[in-house]
Amino acid sequence: MALRDLADGLHDVASIGLVLGKQMVADSLADVRDVEPGLPDELVERLHPRRVPGRVAEIIEETASTRTLRLVPVGEPFPPFRAGQFFALLCEVGGVRTSRAYSVSSPPTRSYLDITVRKMPSGFVSVYLCEEAAVGDVFELSGPGGSFYHEPMTDSRELVFLAGGSGVTPFMSMVRSFADLDAGPRVHLVYGSRTLDDVIFEDELAAMARTHESFRLDLVISEPPDEFSGCRGFLDAPMLSSLLDGAEGKTFFICGPHAMYGLCTGALEGLGVSPASVKKEASGPPPDITLVEGWPKKIKPSKKATVRIEGTRSSFEALCGEPLLNSLERNGVAVENLCRSGECGVCRSQLVSGEVFMPASVVLRKADVAFGYIHPCMSYPLGDITIRL
Amino acid sequence: MKDKRAIVVGAGLGGLSAAAYLARAGLEVDVFERNSYPGGYACSFVRGPYEFEASLHELSGIGPPGNRGSCYRVLEGCDVARRVEFLPIDDFYTSIFPDFTVRVPHGWEAAEEAYCDQFPRERKGISRVMQAMRRINDASAEASKITKASDALTLPFKAGDLVRSMGITVAQALDREMKDPGLKALFTNIWGYYGLPPSRLSWLLFAVANASYIEHGPYHVKGTTQALSNAFVESIEDNGGRVHLRDGVVSIEVADGRATGVVTGQGGRHKADFVVCSANPITTCFSLIGPDKVPADYLKALAGRHIAVSTFNVYMGLDHPAADLGLDGHEFFINEGYDYDDQYLRMFTTDRPSYWAVTNYNHADPEFSPPGTSVVVLTALVDYTPWAHLPADRYRETKDRIAREMIEATDRRFPGLKDHLAVVEVSTPITNMRYSGNPGGSILGFDYDLAGSPPFRLSNRGPLERLFFANAWVRMGGGMETCITSGLFAYGEVMKDLRGTRGLAKLLPATG
Ligand SMILES: Cc1cc2nc3c(=O)[nH]c(=O)nc-3n(C[C@H](O)[C@H](O)[C@H](O)COP(=O)(O)OP(=O)(O)OC[C@H]3O[C@@H](n4cnc5c(N)ncnc54)[C@H](O)[C@@H]3O)c2cc1C
Ligand SMILES: Cc1cc2nc3c(=O)[nH]c(=O)nc-3n(C[C@H](O)[C@H](O)[C@H](O)COP(=O)(O)OP(=O)(O)OC[C@H]3O[C@@H](n4cnc5c(N)ncnc54)[C@H](O)[C@@H]3O)c2cc1C
Ligand code: FES
């Protein structure tokens, strides 16, 4: 039998049934509810706006290289987010329209959003935000995004947060919200920095550790002053096994620079922690893609490749060592994006010809792998390519 | 026909199917979709090591080689079937009631036997109902061959069951034949797929849709329905069409009562000879066209119909095989009682549902998730109204509470489930709205009540010349098979305009 046949034929005999069905139709119209054709987009916008503007109300200098931009809503309140999630901040730097992901460092219980940015030595947006952004500037945000948050349904009541550098920001939002609510799991934050001066939020974290019995803080410094009496070194296996009293039954969160992930993951494996109890935040493109496993050694990051965009006359030269999304933007081609880490799929595009490198951390749907889709934010052209946006 | 251009608004299954047919017919086809992926509800998403099917529980109308169903034929007709692997599901469904559990297989005899085993004293009634369903099913296949008005007039005599089925509800059809409320609840337990309890649901729809599952068996798609949606895109593009992602339509241009093109979010202005909307008719009329340009009768027809319910889903990645927890099948319905009207009314609140499906995706596809793990999804029907009125800051706590309560209750039936949760993601009617743009987050368009059963659904022709619909809201209605079919219908209507073709049978390949 074919449902489709039904319509094709029945629509001619419908009038017969209509007569028979008339009374029933009338009955069913007296339904329990109002028909409210309220347009869906309005309802969705409250929770998931496509873009929301935020005005810099205050700038807090946290360390020599780090500042917090306190953003307040311009019109509608910011959408709700979970402590640990990030927003993408859109901006124009040097004539290039781009965006970067920033974890919110303030808790969801406030009306503002704090974005805490560390200036990267050879960075682009971070330099702009740390040097040029001023009170009164308005930035568009999209999000929230990410699953790097505490989920009581799956996580333990004992959490271990492993932070490195500016990777402390999502944890800051979480510990602040647990403190605000005066409820939540037990938290042990192990926070690594290069020097003592680089530690962000030091006073506030220390104060929380003193006043909240359920929060423990360990700072780990790799280049401390001689008189420093705390932990010296990195978040490696010996350090973690000395700081954690047992790993069993705990849920681990890792956020920090690229190098930290391998170090911490290895250390936790050594302690017998199952990968299912370790959550890792997305971390954006690595500083040196050629060091990532699987990169074809014969290809120099400075090699040039031609990128063609199907259906347009557009084509340009790109560096093999730069994420495709970045080169697209530099050439004036905008592609909607969110995480810029290969995880959210918002930039999903089709590779028509040629070859790209995507690190194993890129999260693709099985069907997208099968049908030749890529995530340009974490795809590196290995030669000339054609893509369909 | 390359000189004729069709624009398809949205890449839901209906729009994709229309686009694939139009591209094959040689039209120049552009699909504009606002999401970054095609498929609307027919998609997947990834969390950690798990990939989740967003919507599909059971696909109807596929069937094995030699017994292909109509959905498969429609997919063959647009060159999509060969690009997808369909996985058979061994049973139809398993019903869990407070006092009994019954596994219902597919196949007419086997299904009947399962109902009779549980209710042996009602054997006669069960048999009569099953026979009526078969007659309705056969007669509707017959009806499709009607080409002359005189034949149509004799149909009521030849196919009384079919014609009667148009005017009665499922409950009315069963009342004379079945006594035990437990039997009625068991027999109709799949009503959630059709969005209305038996007391309101069209008997015609129920009979025909169930027949499709019983006769051809339910199926799953290897690689989730994202693979099906991607296959559609591949077919469209192989035939010279284009699917533009992240570029939604913001308005439909109209001149002299005729759709003439669209304007997209990225600022493109595109002329078209035909505009086919996968986007729902309410948004299309009220926001893309503007109500002042739509005939008042049509707006009235929209307002007179009821928006079907949405869903609440708890997507769970388990660090353990689901079969070891007693989930030894694909689809289970948990019922806390036998009163479906009570179950339905609960859907208009944010109380824990009393009727939901538990789906074990690793049953039909052992490779669905990494070895030693499994994906299990809880799906309850819920209406969007309480969600629409919920303040934004209470959204999360409400969804978490319901999810927790559903997990607890499911764990009572399948002990151990809640100790193996590695990933949990929860979706609500608002989530459905976000990804489909559908009012109310409806999964089925308008209700399948008597006024909304297939013959009485809105036509695939829209309110303007050269404007068509291919989605759940119009003929054939909501559900994947029906939406895919609606694309074929919309295509048929475009072809009528183009060259006066009548009768879809000619456009389809012979049964494969
Ligand atoms: C989910 C998430 C949350 C984040 N949260 C925060 C936060 O709270 N605070 C914060 O400060 N940052 C955060 N980041 C990082 C942030 O998004 C930016 O990556 C960071 O600010 C650097 O951006 P940039 O434009 O300055 O540097 P980019 O120009 O993007 O470069 C970053 C660094 O990577 C290297 N690099 C990048 N591309 C290349 C290339 N093609 N070739 C060679 N080297 C390259 C450069 O050495 C440079 O120093 C987060 C990132 C993610 C994904
Ligand atoms: C949880 C769940 C479970 C389900 N289970 C089953 C099942 O087991 N079996 C079954 O057969 N069916 C099932 N369904 C129903 C089925 O998925 C839907 O009925 C069907 O997929 C709807 O298809 P559609 O063509 O109406 O398009 P939709 O899926 O509604 O998609 C509409 C598309 O149009 C796009 N769009 C909207 N507005 C615009 C615009 N202005 N510009 C551009 N694009 C736009 C949207 O982004 C979207 O991609 C289920 C649905 C859900 C949610
Ligand atoms: S922006 Fe998230 S995957 Fe590319």
For residue range A193-213, list pLDDT tens digits in order.
999 999 999 999 999 999 999
Tell me the C-alpha distance between B399 and B387, whole Å: 10
| Exposed e or buried b per residue across B395-407, where buried means at least 16 C-beta atoms within 10 angstroms of its C-beta | bbeebeebbbebb
Across B281-402, the runs of DSSP E, i.e. the strands, are 310-318, 331-335, 355-360, 374-382
User: What does residue B207 show for φ and ψ, rounded to 5 degrees?
Assistant: -65, -45
| B106-217 CATH choice from 1.10.10, 1.10.1060, 1.10.405, 2.60.40 | 1.10.405
DSSP A380: E
pLDDT at B155: 65
Q: Is A322 in the pocket of ligand 1 (CB under 6 A)?
A: yes
A55 Cβ contact list (under 8 Å, min separation 6): A71, A72, A73, A74, A136, A137, A138
pLDDT in tens, A47-91: 777 789 999 999 999 999 999 999 999 988 999 999 999 999 999
DSSP bridge partners of A279: A253
The closest alpha carbon to A175, from A154, A163, A189, belongs to A189
pLDDT in tens, B394-422: 898 999 999 999 999 999 999 999 999 99
pLDDT at A43: 66
Tell me the C-alpha distance between B167 and A13, whole Å: 13
Average pLDDT over residues A267-274: 93
pLDDT at A38: 52
Residue-level length of chain B: 512
Q: Is the pLDDT of residue A318 over 50?
A: yes
pLDDT at B160: 80
pLDDT at B3: 86
CATH number of B309-436: 3.30.519
Q: Is the pLDDT of residue B177 over 70?
A: yes
Tokens of A356: 């790209």
The answer to whether the Cβ–Cβ distance between B209 and A6 falls below 8 Å is no
> Which residues contact ligand 3 via a Cβ below 6 A?
A 337-340, 342-347, 375, 377
Contact B99/B510 with Cβ under 8 angstroms?
Answer: no
Tell me the C-alpha distance between B36 and B14, whole Å: 17
Task: Output the CA torsion A161→A166→A171→A174 (10° steps).
Answer: 180
Average pLDDT over residues B429-434: 93
Contact B47/B423 with Cβ under 8 angstroms?
Answer: yes
Q: Average model confidence (pLDDT) for chain A?
A: 88
CB atoms within 10 A of CB A365: 23
Average pLDDT over residues B369-393: 93
Bond from prior residue into B198 cis (ω within 30 degrees of 0): no
Three-state DSSP at B84 gives: coil
Contact A379/A356 with Cβ under 8 angstroms?
Answer: yes
Using a CB-CB distance cutoff of 8 angstroms, which residues of chain A are in contact with residue B305? Answer: 35
Average pLDDT over residues A137-149: 95
- The amino acid at B354: S
| Å from CA of B440 to ligand 2 middle | 12
Average pLDDT over residues A283-289: 92
Average pLDDT over residues B128-144: 88
Task: Output the CA torsion A278→A279→A284→A289 (10° steps).
Answer: 20
Tell me how far the alpha carbon of residue A97 is from its chain's centroid. 19
Tell me the C-alpha distance between B128 and B136, whole Å: 12
Give the pLDDT band (50/70/90) at residue B303. Answer: confident
Tell me the C-alpha distance between A209 and B131, whole Å: 72
pLDDT at A7: 41
Q: Is the pLDDT of residue B243 over 50?
A: yes
CB atoms within 10 A of CB A330: 18
The answer to whether the Cβ–Cβ distance between A7 and B155 falls below 8 Å is no
The answer to whether the Cβ–Cβ distance between A24 and B450 falls below 8 Å is yes
Tell me the C-alpha distance between A288 and A322, whole Å: 9
Q: Give contacts of A 96-115 with B, CB under 8 A.
A: none
Ranges A14-18, B429-433, B506-510: which has the least confidence? A14-18
Tell me the C-alpha distance between B427 and B311, whole Å: 8
pLDDT at B85: 98
Q: Is the pLDDT of residue A268 over 50?
A: yes
Contact B57/B358 with Cβ under 8 angstroms?
Answer: no
Residue showing tokens 């997209």: B264
Residue-level length of chain A: 389
Domain spans, chain A: 3-47, 52-145, 158-280, 290-388
Give the pLDDT band (50/70/90) at residue A184. Answer: confident
Give the pLDDT band (50/70/90) at residue B140. Answer: confident
H or E element, residue A147: none
Straight-line distance from the first to the last Cα atom of chain B, in angstroms, rounded to the nearest whole number: 27
CATH superfamily of A52-145: Translation factors (2.40.30.10)
Tell me the C-alpha distance between B274 and B261, whole Å: 8
pLDDT at B139: 86
Ligand nearest to the CA of B54: 2
* Sheet with B5-9, edge to edge strand ranges: B242-244, B28-32, B5-9, B274-277, B467-469
Using a CB-CB distance cutoff of 8 angstroms, which residues of chain B are in contact with residue A151? Answer: 424
Ranges B11-15, B189-193, B396-400: which has the least confidence? B396-400
pLDDT at B2: 65
pLDDT at B164: 86
Q: Which fold has domain A158-280?
A: Rossmann fold (3.40.50)
The answer to whether the Cβ–Cβ distance between A28 and B449 falls below 8 Å is yes
Contact B102/B331 with Cβ under 8 angstroms?
Answer: no
Using a CB-CB distance cutoff of 8 angstroms, which residues of chain B are in contact with residue A13? Answer: 143, 146, 152, 155, 163, 455
Tokens of B156: 């009521």
pLDDT at A331: 94
Ranges A181-185, B81-85, B246-250: which has the least confidence? A181-185
Using a CB-CB distance cutoff of 8 angstroms, which residues of chain B are in contact with residue A274? Answer: 319
CB atoms within 10 A of CB A204: 13
pLDDT at B503: 47
Better-scored residue on pLDDT, A21 or B54: B54
Q: Is the pLDDT of residue B173 over 70?
A: yes
- Which region, left, alpha or beta, applies to residue A342 given φ > 0 means left and ψ of -120 to 50 means alpha? left
pLDDT in tens, B336-361: 999 999 999 999 999 999 999 999 99
3-state SS string for B221-281? ECCHHHHHHHHHHHHHHHCCCEEECCCCEEEEEEECCEEEEEEECCCCEEECCEEEECCCH
Q: Is the pLDDT of residue A46 over 80?
A: no
Q: Is the pLDDT of residue B293 over 70?
A: yes
**% of chain B residues with pLDDT over 90:** 86
Straight-line distance from the first to the last Cα atom of chain A, in angstroms, rounded to the nearest whole number: 40
Q: Is the pLDDT of residue A27 over 50?
A: no
H or E element, residue A105: none
- The amino acid at A308: R
Residue of B34, B168, B236, B246 to mutate for A, most A C-beta atoms under 10 A: B246
CB atoms within 10 A of CB B214: 24
The answer to whether the Cβ–Cβ distance between B424 and A151 falls below 8 Å is yes
Residue in chain A closest to B435 (alpha carbons) equals: A44
Q: Is the pLDDT of residue A1 over 50?
A: no
| Å from CA of A123 to ligand 1 middle | 7
H or E element, residue A333: none
The closest alpha carbon to B181, from B267, B258, B99, B117, belongs to B99
Domain spans, chain B: 5-85+222-305+446-507, 106-217, 309-436
pLDDT at B151: 62
Average pLDDT over residues B376-386: 96
Q: Is the pLDDT of residue A35 over 50?
A: no
Contact A93/A326 with Cβ under 8 angstroms?
Answer: no
Q: Average model confidence (pLDDT) for chain B?
A: 93
Give the pLDDT band (50/70/90) at residue A32. Answer: very low
Tell me the C-alpha distance between B199 and B192, whole Å: 13
Q: Is the pLDDT of residue A285 over 80?
A: yes
pLDDT at A313: 85
Q: Which fold has domain B5-85+222-305+446-507?
A: FAD/NAD(P)-binding domain (3.50.50)
Please tell me whether the overall predicted TM-score, pTM, comes out greater than 0.80 for this model.
yes
Tell me the C-alpha distance between B378 and B210, whole Å: 21
The closest alpha carbon to B139, from A32, A203, A9, belongs to A9
Average pLDDT over residues B53-59: 98
Contact B243/B434 with Cβ under 8 angstroms?
Answer: no
* CA dihedral over B123, B129, B133, B135, signed as positive or negative: positive
Q: Is the pLDDT of residue A14 over 50?
A: no
The minimal CB distance from A10 to the residues B36, B140, B224 is found for B140
The closest alpha carbon to B378, from A153, A32, A365, A276, belongs to A153
Q: Which fold has domain A290-388?
A: Ubiquitin-like (UB roll) (3.10.20)
